[in-house]
Structure 1
C-alpha cells in the first residue's frame, strides 16, 4: 500500500501559494484494508476514507468509465491493481494531475509542472470530455489564476462538449457550486468570459450571455457594451473583497438590459424591474441560496435610485430605506450599498472614483434607526391611533430625523469649505 499527495496541494506548493487542504490517493489497498487500519469510510460513489488522526481524505486509486450524459453518468472502478498514473489520467488539468510520494518526490506524467511554468491550463487526456463539470472547473481556475492562458486544444474540446449537449445535463446544485466558487476568485470576469467563449454561458446563464453587444449611453457608461460593464463590476466586487451575496447581486443587477427593445436603445428605462423578474427565474432554476437571491433582488430593483439618491431629500430617502427593508436588515442594506458602489465604479475610467451615496445613505439610516419607535407607538396609541396611523407617525419621525441629519452634514461641509 502506497500513499501519494495529489492535486491542488501539489500544484499550490509548486506555485509558492499557501496549502490549506491536502488530498491523498492510496494505491494497492482495498476498502477492507483501509478500515482495518483505522480509516473511516465516507465515500458514497467510490471509496474515500478519513484519516483516523488528521481527518484528511484518502481515496483509493480509481478509474472511471462514461455510462451516460452529465455529471452522474459514470461508473467507477477501484481495486489494488489501479496505478497512480491511471488515477492521475482521469483528472481535469495537467496542473492538477501531479503527485508527491512519501519521500517528497514529484510524479508528473502529464507535464503539469511545465504548464505551471508556462502559465497554461491544459486538459490531461481526452477523457476530459466525459465530465461537463470540468468546463465549469476550468473556467473557475481561469478566474483564480488570472495570468494563465487556456490551451487552444482544451478550448476546442470544451466547445465540442457544449455542442454535444453535455452541459445541458448538469444538475443545478453543481452548477451553482462552481459558479459561486468562481465568483469568489480574484478575477471572476474570466470565468464568465471563458464560459461565453466556449458556448456554455448561453446554455447555463442565457440572461447573462445576452448582455454582450447591448449598448448603453456613453455619457454614463464609457465602456458602452453592457457585457463589458458587467465584467468590470464583477472584478470591482473582487477588488473590494465583497461577500458572495454581493458578488451575485453584481452579476444579476443589469439582466433586464438584455431585454430592452432595440427601438429605445441605448436607453434602458425600466430595466430594474425586468432585471428583478429575470433574476427570480434564474435563482429558481439554479437553486440559488435565499441570502444571495434576496440581496440581488433589492440591488436589481433599487440600484438606479441609490445612484440618484444624492439628489433626494429626507422623505425620498426614508421611502428608499423602507423599500430596501433597511430598518429591519441594516447589515444587508450595507451590502446593497457595496454592490451599488461596485456598479458605479465598474465603468471605464471611473474605477478610482468615489461613491458618496454610500456614506450619505449609511448616515441617514443611522439617524433614522435612532428614532425611538416604541415611544412614538405608545404615544400614538394613547391618542387612539392604530395600525397604519402609528406607522405613519414613525415614518414622519424618521423623515424629520433624516432631514436634521442631512442639514447638519451640509452645514459641516459648508464650514469646512
Structure 2
C-alpha cells in the first residue's frame, strides 16, 4: 500500500502558489485496509477516506469507463491492482495529472511539468472527451491561470469543439453547470472562462443569449468591472454577466441555470432597472419614479441588496452616471424617514403608510431638485 500526493497540490507547488488542499491517492489497498488503519469512508460513488489525523482526503486508485451520456455516465473500477499511472490517466489536464511520492519524488507520466513551463493547458488523453464537464473545468482553469500566461493548446480546443458538435454538452445537468460557473466567476480572470466556452462552441449551447458579439463584449466588460471591485459576491458577478440582456431573457436563463434565488433576483432587478433609468431625465428628475424604483428593489427591507444592485448598474447599465447618482441620492434621503416619529404623531394603518410615502417623496424631490444632487 502506497500513498501519493496528487492533483492541485502538486501543480500549485510547481507554480509557486499557495497549496490550500492536499489530496492523496492510495495504490494497492482495499476499503477494508483503509478502515483498519482508522480512516473514515466518506465517498459514496467511489472509495474516498479521511485521514484520522490530518482529515485530508485519501482516494483509492481507480479507473473509469464511459457507459452513457453526460457526467454520470461512468462505471468506476477501484481495486488494489489499479496503478498510479492508470489513475492519473483518467484526469482532465496534464498539469493536474502529476503526483509526488511520500518522500517527495515527482511522478509525471504525462509531462505536466513540461506544460507548466510552457504555460499550456493540455488534455491527458482521449478519455477527456468522455466527460463534457471537462470543457467547463478547462475553461475555469484558463480563467484562473490566464494571468500567469496559460492558454489552451490547439489540440485540446479542437477536441472540445468536437465534443460540442457531437452534442455532449447538451447532457450536462444545470446543477453541475452552475457549480462550475459560480467558481469561475471568482477566478482571477473570470472573463477568460466565457471566452474559452465561446471559442469551443459550448457557450452557444449553455448560455446562448451571450454568444453574439454585441452582447458578449458588454457582458465581459461588466463582469470585469464588478470583479475589480474588492469583495463582490457571486450575485453581483452573475447579475453583471447577464446585465446586457432584456429582463425576460435574464430571468429565463437564470432559472434554466438553476441559479440560487438571490442570484436570480439580483439579475432580474438589474435588467429591469436599465430601461427605467434610461428614461429618466437627470435635469428634471421624477420623484415618484425614483420612489417606485426603491419600492421595486424592496429597498426598505433589503438595503444591502440595493447596494449590490447599484454596484451592478454602475458596471453594466448603459445609463449615465447622473441617473445612477439620482437613484443613490433618493435612497439616502428616503431611508432617513422614521416611521416611529410618524406613529408618535398619531398616524396608524393606511394613514401611516400614506404619511411614510409622502415624507419619503418630499425628501426625494427636495434632494434631487437641487443643482448639487
Is contact 1:4-1:24 (8 Å) kept? yes
Where does residue 5 of structure 2 map in the other structure? 5
Is contact 2:6-2:22 (8 Å) kept? yes
The structural deviation recorded for 1:377 is 4.8
Where does residue 217 of structure 1 map in the other structure? none
Is contact 1:377-1:394 (8 Å) kept? no
Instruction: Map 1:14-413 onto structure 2 (within 5 A).
Output: 14-146=14-146, 147-209=149-211, 211-212=212-213, 225-241=214-230, 242-255=232-245, 275-306=246-277, 310-311=282-283, 312-343=285-316, 355=321, 361-377=327-343, 379=345, 381=347, 386-387=349-350, 389-406=351-368, 410=372
RMSD (Å), alpha carbons? 2.2
- Where in structure 1 are there 5+ consecutive unaligned residues? 213-224, 256-274, 348-353, 412-417
The structural deviation recorded for 1:313 is 4.8
Is contact 2:7-2:23 (8 Å) kept? yes
The structural deviation recorded for 1:330 is 0.5
- Where in structure 2 are there 5+ consecutive unaligned residues? none
Mapped to 1, the partners of 2:195 and 2:189 lie a distance apart of 11
The structural deviation recorded for 1:66 is 0.5
Is contact 1:376-1:394 (8 Å) kept? yes
TM-score w.r.t. length of structure 2: 0.92
Is contact 2:251-2:267 (8 Å) kept? no
Mapped to 2, the partners of 1:78 and 1:23 lie a distance apart of 17
Q: Deviations over 1:271-290 (max 9, x none)?
A: xxxx2212222222221100
Q: Deviations over 1:293-319 (max 9, x none)?
A: 011110010034446574435443222
Mapped to 2, the partners of 1:92 and 1:105 lie a distance apart of 22
Q: Deviations over 1:199-253 (max 9, x none)?
A: 11111111222x32xxxxxxxxxxxx33212111111221113211001101112
DSSP-derived class of the 1:85 partner: helix
Q: Deviations over 1:325-357 (max 9, x none)?
A: 111110000000111122159x9xxxxxx9566
Question: Aligned pair in 2 of structure 1 residues 14, 191: CA closer, same or farther (>3 Å)?
Answer: same
Mapped to 1, the partners of 2:369 and 2:167 lie a distance apart of 60
DSSP-derived class of the 1:177 partner: helix
Aligned residues: 368
Mapped to 2, the partners of 1:60 and 1:227 lie a distance apart of 43
Mapped to 1, the partners of 2:2 and 2:371 lie a distance apart of 69
Is contact 1:306-1:340 (8 Å) kept? no
Question: Aligned pair in 2 of structure 1 residues 358, 99: CA closer, same or farther (>3 Å)?
Answer: farther
The structural deviation recorded for 1:88 is 0.6
TM-score w.r.t. length of structure 1: 0.83
The structural deviation recorded for 1:139 is 0.7
Is contact 2:244-2:316 (8 Å) kept? no
DSSP-derived class of the 1:110 partner: coil
